[in-house]
Amino acid sequence: MSDSEGTGYRVLANLVSPVDAKITVRKDITRPYVGLENIPSHGAHLTGWSLASSSISTNSIFEAGDVLFGKLRPNLRKCVVAPFDGYCSTDILVLRANTGVDPGFAGKVLRTEQVGAAAEMTSVGTKMPRTSWKHLSQIEVFCPGLTEQSRIAQVLDTLDTAIHETQAIIAKLKAVKQGLLHDLLTRGIDANGELRPPQAEAPHLYKESPLGWIPREWEVSTLEAVSATVTSGSRDWARFYADSGSLFVRIGNLTREHINFRFDSCMYVRPPRNADGQRTRLEPGDILFSITADLGIVGVVPVDMGEAYINQHVALVRPSPSAVNPRFVGHYLAGPVAQAYVSKLNDAGAKAGLNLPTVRGLLTVRPVRMEQDFAAERLDEIDNRIQIAITESAKQRELKTALMDDLLTGRVRVTPLLEGAAP
């Protein structure tokens, strides 16, 4: 399709055609193999592949630039442009750009909401519905001339690459955090501000404890011993629910990703001003701990939380600031050692739950205050970096969705967009 043919709407069959290249793959064939699990639900990059086949099976050959489109429900919206030659599962529809169509543009069109929804609507079969190319191929899509197609693909590819790179940064930061959790919460730092060597290398620096090997300088304490209060939320607060007012913290406001709160789904209350109503009013530094359902999720109340309360599914631990750094204890309780300890306390054969005496008896380590402050600061810092990267990724995805909707429908033309971005 040349630029001289103009711009308009065309059916998918004018853009791409299915590749009928089924092969019997044998063990001696060593070319990349792509399965449905390797095609991301969102994103433009394969998440992995294997080499060779473990057994004789029927698959499909594809070439670099072909579009791999999941045709088996619930994978009907999975789509990626192949970066190399290879072969794939027959549950993947291999589509090749027609002459005069930019393969990258074709891949972007096939990833739109319009095509994804059409794939679900035109799928056939009952037990394992599959995409019906016969029907899907007649869906009309926006298709400009070849030059504009290439420019659209270039713009969206650039954004896809940025998203992919941001996701890689997030994965790297999360791996760094896991290393910090292990080092800071099991080894800590010595008087010189250096990490202690591992226990295996310097056993004389460590001692056994109910929480495993810990530095000799550290103590092990119960939460009750380092706290002024350990309690849980009041029951039957439904009558106090309101459209606005004080935040009502539930398990859904806690996350295992970090010890901060998430506010994507909030409830509010106007609590009674009696003693029971004020008993669970949160204060900065309070540690919240889920005690039903998904046990042991931890959150630490920040200084800018505002007036807030908890429900009966969450325990409130109010550490004594003179005894411990609340955020250090929060990180420790959310870390792998304490979480393994919590798992052992819960009877797998019974309804998941922890009572307050058990929460009071939960153990935490007590390094000197300098170590606590240092560890909390470092772990807060890495959590903040992860959150910044996640926020950036979300913005990039929103921009991508908006650009796809604009550029792939013709609502916004790519040439003026590029001219406006030029220095």
Residue 238: pLDDT band (50, 70, 90) is confident
| pLDDT value of residue 376 | 96
**Percentage of the chain lying above the pLDDT 70 cut:** 90
Residue 285 pLDDT > 50: yes
| pLDDT tens readout for residues 9-38 | 899 999 999 987 776 655 546 678 888 888
What are the structure tokens assigned to 314, written together? 């969450």
Residue 105 pLDDT > 60: yes
* CA–CA distance, 229 with 247 (Å, rounded to integer): 21
| pLDDT tens readout for residues 312-334 | 899 999 999 889 999 999 999 99
| pLDDT tens readout for residues 255-281 | 999 999 998 888 998 888 777 778 889
What are the structure tokens assigned to 131, written together? 């995409």
Residue 377: pLDDT band (50, 70, 90) is very high
| pLDDT value of residue 106 | 94
| pLDDT value of residue 118 | 86
What backbone phi and psi angles, to 5 degrees, belong to 212?
100, -165
* CA–CA distance, 109 with 16 (Å, rounded to integer): 10
Task: Name the average pLDDT for the chain.
Answer: 87
Mean pLDDT within 215-226: 96
Can you say whether the dihedral through the CA atoms of 214, 217, 222, 227 is positive or negative?
A: negative
**Structural domains for the chain:** 3-143 (3.90.220.20), 145-215+368-423 (1.10.287.1120), 219-366 (3.90.220.20)
| pLDDT value of residue 349 | 46
pTM of the model: 0.83
Mean pLDDT within 48-74: 76
In order of 44, 167, 173, 306, 315, the CA distances from 337 in angstroms are: 37, 27, 20, 31, 20
132-141, 206-215, 294-303, range with the lowest pLDDT: 132-141
What backbone phi and psi angles, to 5 degrees, belong to 404?
-60, -40
Tokens 């005496």 — which residue? 357
Contact by Cβ (8 Å): 296, 290: yes
User: 42: exposed, middle or buried (C-beta count within 10 Å: 0-12, 13-18, 19+)?
Assistant: exposed
| pLDDT value of residue 3 | 42
Tokens 């990180």 — which residue? 331
Residue 78: pLDDT band (50, 70, 90) is confident
186-200, 219-233, 234-248, range with the lowest pLDDT: 234-248
Residue 4: pLDDT band (50, 70, 90) is very low
268-272, 333-337, 344-348, range with the lowest pLDDT: 344-348
Contact by Cβ (8 Å): 16, 110: yes
CA–chain centroid gap for 420, Å, is 34
Residue 347 pLDDT > 60: no
